[in-house]
Amino acid sequence: MRTTIGKLVGLQIVVTVLSALVAFFLSGAVAGWSAALGGAIGFVPTAVYGCLLLWRPVGTPRGLLQQHYLGEFGKLAITLLMFGATFVWIKPLSPPPLFFTYVLTLAAYWAALVLFA
């Protein structure tokens, strides 16, 4: 499981870097940084979720389910906090590249199913 999580986060980082570069070259520095932030909002919670899953071994199916619930809740909370902090503290900001790159990092889950299965 450790290598699968690492590959997924790595794929999300690659998607983020490529998207930020495309946004930078097409629309300038603000779009590039906005895309990079959108990607970070996608891959940081995934990395935290992966760390929570690997943090301690789980002995029972109930414990595994509870650990996944905790991971998903943490992932959602971190995502909301990162979006909120980005919109409050980052100026200037270009929302379309931010959201587009965020959605691309989510699409990386589907790509990972095909690539790493």
- 48's CB contacts (< 8 A; 6+ apart) are 71, 74, 75, 78
Stretch 83-108: mean pLDDT, rounded? 97
Tell me the pLDDT tens digit for each residue of 54-71.
Answer: 777 777 888 888 888 988
Taking 90 as the threshold, does the pLDDT of residue 117 lie above it?
no
Preceding peptide of 92 cis, ω within 30° = yes
Tell me the pLDDT tens digit for each residue of 17-36.
Answer: 999 999 999 999 999 999 99
Average pLDDT over the chain reads: 92
Cβ neighbours around 27 below 10 Å, total: 15
Rounded to the nearest angstrom, the gap between the alpha carbon of residue 40 and the centroid of all alpha carbons in its chain is 6
The larger pLDDT score, comparing residue 67 to residue 102, is at 102
Q: Which two tokens stand for residue 105?
A: 């990092």
Instruction: Report pLDDT for 58.
Output: 72
CA angle centred on 103, ends 100 and 107, rounded to 5°: 135
Instruction: Report pLDDT for 109.
Output: 87
Instruction: Report pLDDT for 2.
Output: 67
Taking 60 as the threshold, does the pLDDT of residue 1 lie above it?
no
Taken in order 67, 78, 107, 37, the sign of the CA dihedral is negative
69 CB burial (10 A radius; 0-12, 13-18, 19+): exposed
Stretch 92-105: mean pLDDT, rounded? 97
For tokens 């943490």, the residue is 74
